[in-house]
Amino acid sequence: MSYIDKAFAALADPTRRRVMERLASGPKAVGEIAAGFPVSRPAISQHLKVLREAGLVADRAEGTRRVYSIDPEGLGPLRAWLDRFWGVALDAFQAEVEGDREEDEP
């Protein structure tokens, strides 16, 4: 399973995306993250594990607490994958808007 696979699978879950958004305002411990979520703390722990293995967050020990933060490196491949389409899709869109000419592509 590639990094792209893991990253997309990780972000497919709405709760995990909310965790990411919560971490966007700065590193936080598990308890802080779990507070305000409608699910249990163990559930958040499991979500954080998925995000970590996808390279989207990093964690460090701080006493008995575990502080998680967004890992900028993990977002790169995602953006790259999307950007691969960006150009192509816009080109196709542009070509379509300008009117269908002969498809002279070799």
- Under the rule (CB under 7 A), what is the footprint of DNA? 9, 12-13, 15, 29-32, 34, 38-43, 45-50, 59, 61, 63-66
Which residue carries 């993990």 as its tokens?
A: 74
Q: Between residues 28 and 44, which has the closer beta carbon with respect to a copy of itself?
A: 28
Number of residues located near a copy of itself, criterion CB under 8 A: 32
Instruction: Please say which residue, 65 or 79, places its beta carbon nearer to a copy of itself.
Output: 79
- Work out what residue 18 binds among a copy of itself, DNA, none; the CB cut-off runs from 5 to 8 Å by kind: none
Tell the residue number behind the tokens 């997309």, with chain if given: 8
Residue with tokens 């977002």: 75
CB neighbours of 75 closer than 8 A, spacing ≥ 6?
56
Among 24, 64, 101, 102, binds a copy of itself (CB under 8 A): 24
Q: Indicate the angle between helix axes 14-23 and 41-53, nearest 10 degrees.
A: 80
